[in-house]
Every structure is written in C-alpha cells, then in structure tokens.
Amino acid sequence: MQQGLSRPWWLLPPGRLNPLWWVAVTVVLIWVDYVVGAGTQFPVLYVIPVALAAWYSGRRPALAIALAVPLAHIIFVMAAWHAPGGALAGPVGATIFRGAAIVIMALWFGRLAEHEQELYRHVERLEGLLPICAFCKRIRNGTGDWEPLEQFISTRSEAQFSHAFCPECIEQNYPEFSSGPPRDGG
C-alpha cells in the first residue's frame, strides 16, 4: 500500500477564486483605511488579503491590492486628511515604503502558490493506481484509451526509456546468446 504525503497544517487549502472577489476586498480595505485615518503606522491586516489573493487568484489580484491600498492612502493623506503644509513628505514616504513591502509580499506569496500548485500537479501525475493489461502491459489512460507503458510514463514524467534484455529473457528468448550452459535439442 502506498502511503501519501500529508498536507502540512499551516499550508492553505488548494483552490481558486475569481479575481473579481478581490475588487470587493480592496474597496473594503480602502474604506477601513479611510475610517481609521492618517495615524495608521503599518497596515498589517493588508498583508493578509494580499497573501490570500496571491494564493487563490494569482499575482495580478495580489499586486492590484498591494498597489491600490497604499495609493488610496496617499490620496487620503494629500486630499482628505489635510496634513499640515510641510508634513506630507513623512506620511507619503512611509506609505510608499509600506506599499513596497506589501508588493514584495504579494510577489512572494504568488510565487509560493504557483510552486505549490505545480508540485501538486506533479505528484498527482505520478501517484495512484494504474490499470495495466496483464498481457501487453499497456496502461488505460484517463480517456479510456490503452497506451504503451513507455508512452504513458514519458508523457507524465521526465523519464525516458532505453530498451534492453534482462538475463532471464535473454536466456528464454535467445538461448544462443545466454551465458549459461548450452541447451540440448535446441
């Protein structure tokens, strides 16, 4: 019996979400940012939706959130919160720095999600029971067609085949080439 690898408890479950869901999440984050006000030092909670967007929808939605929220924050600092004349550089600079950190997190989580999905596809291709013909050794694929063992494995892995004869088959099929004692009557 083959024992599969268990999924780590800390790894998010697999799945995909429509990227449009993250538009709503971004609107809510911008609203929360506006309500909280200019005193926000580091929006740690923004990293969580960025990470989830990267994991479940890819890099683009994650980058969209990672760029839209700091940009909205800069607009709020400049227009809505009326920072005193010369005091714009500090909050804008800090927001740009925080935005860069969140963009890096979006790229990192996006790459991690792509890697995990690729590993999952790789393992899925190479595990499981294979229906194989007891006579010709062809394997039934997912569409129900029977294909040669070599072709089935080659299309689903990096393996390549080179044909040879094992000692038993040489002796049985080509006794004149076997290294064993000569056979009588043959």
Give the tens place of pLDDT for each residue, 140-168: 888 889 999 888 888 877 788 888 888 88
Q: How many secondary structure helices (H) and strands (E) does the chain include?
A: 6, 2
pTM here? 0.53
For the chain, the domains span 21-126, 130-186
Largest interatomic CA distance in the chain: 109
DSSP one-letter code for 20: T
Residue 11 corresponds to which amino acid? L
| Distant-in-sequence, close-in-space partners of 91: CB < 8 Å, separation ≥ 6 | 38, 77, 83
74-108 pLDDT tens trace: 887 777 666 555 667 777 777 788 888 888 988 99
Which has the closest alpha carbon to 93: 125, 114, 70, 59? 70
